[in-house]
């Protein structure tokens, strides 16, 4: 019943990977399937929220009742997210690339007979989540994910503080049965003066549980 708190609210959710082009045929990407973010979008729409889903390249159908905006790169995702504001709640579930090639080659990079290695220079992408969290006008709650392979709590609490978030959902990646690609996931949510463990379950079920927590944090 507490999740009725989301009824009519505008939720902006990012999901999936970003692809950072190297040349017309190659890119830097990651293993995100979009399943976690899409599950959140579907569950939120089911609770009567007005959901805008900014999605990187994924192989998933658009959840019913959700407005979906497709993007490819981190730069495009940033623009789409900022253009979709204002929102009541932002949930950054996308695995945004932290780096992008300094230049996109106009033509396919060719290997040459004398080059046994190739160096591609990468530059930092803007942090979309931190930028959204810095826009204080309308947002009631800014939620980030933290995908970590180790020291999960330390890094997750670091992101909560550094990016000035209301809530961080930490999930361990690089393990089987959770994180990227899997239909299942486990997580621990951290906020300033609390935390909650969510044991492994389907991403669908986890999404419902996370939205219940988000509704409670909204009222806190």
Residues at the contact surface with ligand PMT, assessed by CB under 6 A: 14, 16, 32-36, 74, 92-96, 98, 125, 127-129, 144-147, 159, 171, 173, 179-181
Residue 127 is labelled as binding a ligand: yes
Residue 129 is labelled as binding a ligand: yes
Closest approach of ligand PMT to the CB of residue 98, in Å: 5
User: What are 21's two structure tokens?
Assistant: 């082009």
Is 93:144 a contact under the CB 8 Å cutoff? no
- Of the pair 24, 174, the CB lying nearest ligand PMT is at 174
- Of the pair 39, 215, the CB lying nearest ligand PMT is at 39
Closest approach of ligand PMT to the CB of residue 17, in Å: 7
Answer yes or no: 83 catalytic. Answer: no
Q: Is 126 exposed, middle or buried (0-12, 13-18, 19+ CB in 10 A)?
A: middle
- Of the pair 111, 150, the CB lying nearest ligand PMT is at 150
Residue 203 is labelled as binding a ligand: no
Look at the block and give the residue holding tokens 């976690």: 36
d(CA 203, CA 206): 5
In DSSP terms, which residues pair with 70 in a beta bridge? 55
Look at the block and give the residue holding tokens 């999930």: 171
Annotated catalytic residues are 30
């Amino acid at each position: 019943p507490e999740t009725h708190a989301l009824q009519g609210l505008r939720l902006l959710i990012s999901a999936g990977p970003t692809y950072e082009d190297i040349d017309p045929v190659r890119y830097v990407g990651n293993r995100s399937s979009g399943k976690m973010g899409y599950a959140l979008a579907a569950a939120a729409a089911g609770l009567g929220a007005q959901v805008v889903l900014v999605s990187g390249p994924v192989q998933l159908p658009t959840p019913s009742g959700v407005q979906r905006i497709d993007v490819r790169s981190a730069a495009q995702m940033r623009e789409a997210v900022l253009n979709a504001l204002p929102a009541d709640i932002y949930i950054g579930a996308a695995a945004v690339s932290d780096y992008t090639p300094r230049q996109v080659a106009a033509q396919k990079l060719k290997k040459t007979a004398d080059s046994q290695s190739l160096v591609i220079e990468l530059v930092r992408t803007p942090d979309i989540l931190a930028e959204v969290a810095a826009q204080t006008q309308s947002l009631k709650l800014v939620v980030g994910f933290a995908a970590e392979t180790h020291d999960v709590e330390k890094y997750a609490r670091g992101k909560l503080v550094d990016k000035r978030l209301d809530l961080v959902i930490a999930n361990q990646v690089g393990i089987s049965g959770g994180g990227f690609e899997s239909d299942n996931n486990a997580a621990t949510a951290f906020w300033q003066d609390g935390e909650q463990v969510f044991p492994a379950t389907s991403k669908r079920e986890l999404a419902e549980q996370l939205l219940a927590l988000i509704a409670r944090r909204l009222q806190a």
